[in-house]
Structure 1
């Protein structure tokens, strides 16, 4: 029998608080319930907007920006925080509707981090959610962040997600039903965001990144803002207003400060864009229930399938040791040193 196995995102649930259950999306369901979601209508709207931009001769950059803005607008209209989660939710709906008697396994991993064991500890390819902050903090570019230090961060190593997918495909290959598993750690083995902040400081204090001219980059403790509003006020007073003054001086003195103004603007816009993109994660108060996953683990453990290389139990992780000895060194080795992140 054919089988569909889909890996989506636990954050398709949006910004809900409390315990978030492993339950499917019904076709047309929205997070805010204000109206039914018509996927075909959304696709038509996107295609019409793209055609309009091209008919008007928009540049590729302008086209990309406009389509991103449309995606965010439509996502938030229905209650999702961003386009990524919105489209993942629509994907779940379509799979559920079209599968007929085909077994369907939907995996919802939380924040995926470096591998725990396989193919070796600390491996990663491409910058993930956590690592944007780790990389920019280690390079001295991130000095403040809006976040609740008490927030539970739901992280799962990438190899555990792969192991769960492989075992589930074998286990459910002849079961014509829908199975949903949230693969995360916030219920079984939670850790607080403050542990990541402290670990990053201790690691980079002992193992500083090096500039192009061979000098160590000294990190300081992050300045923490308890709300996005207080963070935006700080950024306005500390950077935005002086930046406007620099821009005016640059005009008055015939572009004398052009390079400084351009570099400062780029850094400011990068930080504000980064914080805006991840705002929905900074004060997230949900916990991802993994009752189905835990029950599945127990059954597979009795069958001898989840020991050794097929482990996907977050309870085996010592988070402090993982951060200091596996995750942060892995990020440095495979992202910073390979220059995948500029």
Structure 2
């Protein structure tokens, strides 16, 4: 590694840095390798740094071993397609040779490492890149502290005793600046908070622990109808207390607060370990690598963009002149690798940000996004184009005040409509009021979560990051680019990012199998296709089974009040909906969930299975096809359906301490992610998708249907029906007989 001896704000002028030489024969430990940034770091390291000695990945075991998660989940990502094509049949062997998977968990004492693994890391790791974190703005206080603070300190304390005294690269966020105005320098955190009050990080951590204990003790003393109600109350209080404390000091939320606390404690407790802090701004889809527009899940700016495109968000709760500081993920990857090649005597800070060198303002983003959706509109349930509204920028306070008044008015109007005599007029008014209420609830949610970031008066400096880039030889600047000054915002948005959010990536151009697949598959969506039900209905059924009969009507009434919010969230993003809705399972015990799932088959599922679906499934089996159920529903609900198919691919919840955390293990099985999972599954199981069938009911399943040779829209929603008719796909109605005869779907090339 390159030794540098200078102050943290000193000049990098004269630094001569080669990444290929710096990493030659070295060992790197990476946490968070299965996340968005972590996946990109693994891919770039394997593809562009073959000189690296060994990449150690700390991966948590769950329903799969750490090694299985690496090989079957991480390496199956489309991000690795270029490397897979380059290496051909040797791809997996190359990855296994370069990567050593270490089973561990930053939330456990000693990271849960075995003695053998701890000794190996001590002897071989030259650089630690700590990327694992909780990035939720509204995480419960205990979860945010455990992930962002205690997990970071546990890793640092371990590395501090290793033989090689490795460099500790801490991935933070530029938004640790909080609500400070002006130019935010690339320097270690001050002793003061964003609102200029003093902060002792050790005392603050002890205070936060006391807050968590206080909330837990209050939850134990209070009377609740069920344990789940107790957990829900506790979670809501911990979310509120965390954000209250953050805003008291001048941070936006518990995420930026705990990330800043982690920075302070890393610098205080680093001992002799050299430290580099990398602070990215908002990380979005890639500019060029692993391919333009590569993204996993939904990032910070994306829900607002999609809500605008769908006509749900009609005004913006921010200042049009404020900067929105976005950086593509590949820039962050390359800057992190460059920072990891240093070995400073004093802590270094690098901000991977765009505001200083290549500013993008909210009004610019609005114009680019509006122009794109005017030319490439989304479509409503009837297939009609959705024209984006012209936005106004009244500010977050004005937006929230108007929305609260609007919701009060809608509530009063709803009470009046309930008194009208039944008929078409009353029904029409109720539907209009329901749509307006859903739109207002979602707008208020966006305003509260993102309003602070849309009114910032700060600019993140990036001179040192630019100097780091310029220290690379010219050939490596081309191979590891992160000069944000060269970024063309309109070109990236129109050519990569917005298409990635709204359309299926052209996987056929990137996917090239070394052997021709031999098998044909029939892929069935479950909810709405195989079964006349959905994840909300299943949850309600399971939950009601756990409640006393006297309590059930009250719980159901309270749950129905949340339905408009979930409906609106689903319209914006099925992925966002799944992540949010499955938090309802927080605190459930897996063994009880599996028991209820088994009970649901006879008591709930069987009556809702479409007979036509079973008949069609049987025809595929008789034809020798692989039958796969691919669903965003949870594994314990779908387990009883396993006998119907050759395989079931479903969503899973993370477990911790013998209970579900409410967070999904991996990416939600929805939208483009579902199509990517299908492509990965086909590669692993030797399937030919061009000869395969897929059955689904929702427009969110469109990418999956488009990926196969014979797509079938079953009981389609309006948008999917429109798209299916335009493309000449088969459309079938299951669950209702047509002239007394249930019509099967023709299986091409087969004589049944």
Partner residue in 1 for 2:246: 75
> 1:249-328 residue pairs with structure 2 within 5 A?
249=416, 252=419, 264-301=436-473, 304-308=475-479, 310-328=480-498
- Residue 246 (structure 1) aligned to one of 389, 402, 413: 413
Distance in 1, Cα, partners of 2:435 & 2:351: 42
CA separation of 1:24/1:294 partners in 2, compared to 1, >3 Å: closer, same or farther? Answer: same
Distance in 2, Cα, partners of 1:54 & 1:197: 48
- Alignment deviations for residues 245-264 of structure 1 (CA, whole Å, 9 cap, x no partner): 22322554599777765554
Distance in 2, Cα, partners of 1:266 & 1:216: 20
- Residue 18 (structure 1) aligned to one of 182, 192, 196: 182
User: How big is the shift at 1:317?
Assistant: 0.9
Distance in 2, Cα, partners of 1:222 & 1:48: 44
1:133 and 1:142 in contact (8 A); partners too:
yes
- Alignment deviations for residues 262-317 of structure 1 (CA, whole Å, 9 cap, x no partner): 55434322211210111212221211111221221121246x53322x11110111
Q: Name structure 2 gaps, 5 residues minimum.
A: 1-163, 506-570, 578-752
**1:96 is the counterpart of 2:267:** yes
User: How big is the shift at 1:148?
Assistant: 2.1
CA separation of 1:193/1:33 partners in 2, compared to 1, >3 Å: closer, same or farther? Answer: closer
2:320 and 2:363 in contact (8 A); partners too:
yes
User: How big is the shift at 1:150?
Assistant: 2.1
Partner residue in 1 for 2:195: 32
Distance in 1, Cα, partners of 2:308 & 2:487: 24
CA separation of 1:259/1:68 partners in 2, compared to 1, >3 Å: closer, same or farther? Answer: farther
User: How big is the shift at 1:84?
Assistant: 0.9
* TM-score normalized by the length of structure 1: 0.88
Q: Which SS does the other structure have where 2:471 is aligned?
A: helix
Partner residue in 1 for 2:403: 235
User: How big is the shift at 1:211?
Assistant: 3.0
Give the number of aligned pairs. Answer: 335
> 1:1-342 residue pairs with structure 2 within 5 A?
1=164, 2-26=166-190, 29-37=192-200, 38=203, 39-56=205-222, 57=224, 58-169=229-340, 171-172=341-342, 174-225=343-394, 227-236=395-404, 239-249=406-416, 252=419, 264-301=436-473, 304-308=475-479, 310-333=480-503, 339-342=574-577
Distance in 2, Cα, partners of 1:186 & 1:30: 22
1:112 and 1:157 in contact (8 A); partners too:
yes
- Alignment deviations for residues 85-116 of structure 1 (CA, whole Å, 9 cap, x no partner): 10110111111112111121111111112110
The structure with the larger Rg is 2
Q: Which SS does the other structure have where 2:437 is aligned?
A: helix
Distance in 2, Cα, partners of 1:289 & 1:329: 30
- Alignment deviations for residues 186-230 of structure 1 (CA, whole Å, 9 cap, x no partner): 1111122222111111111111112344332222222332x3343
Q: Which SS does the other structure have where 1:223 is aligned?
A: coil
- Alignment deviations for residues 61-87 of structure 1 (CA, whole Å, 9 cap, x no partner): 322211110011111122212111101
CA RMSD of aligned residues (A): 2.6
CA separation of 1:319/1:252 partners in 2, compared to 1, >3 Å: closer, same or farther? Answer: same
Bigger relative contact order, structure 1 or 2 (CA pairs below 8 A, ≥6 apart): 1
- Alignment deviations for residues 29-59 of structure 1 (CA, whole Å, 9 cap, x no partner): 4222334342222222223313422443443
Distance in 1, Cα, partners of 2:198 & 2:348: 27
1:167 and 1:305 in contact (8 A); partners too:
no
Distance in 2, Cα, partners of 1:206 & 1:341: 25
* TM-score normalized by the length of structure 2: 0.42
Distance in 2, Cα, partners of 1:202 & 1:101: 53
Q: Which SS does the other structure have where 2:393 is aligned?
A: strand
User: How big is the shift at 1:121?
Assistant: 0.6
1:102 and 1:177 in contact (8 A); partners too:
no
Q: Which SS does the other structure have where 1:105 is aligned?
A: strand
Q: Name structure 1 gaps, 5 residues minimum.
A: none
1:17 and 1:286 in contact (8 A); partners too:
yes
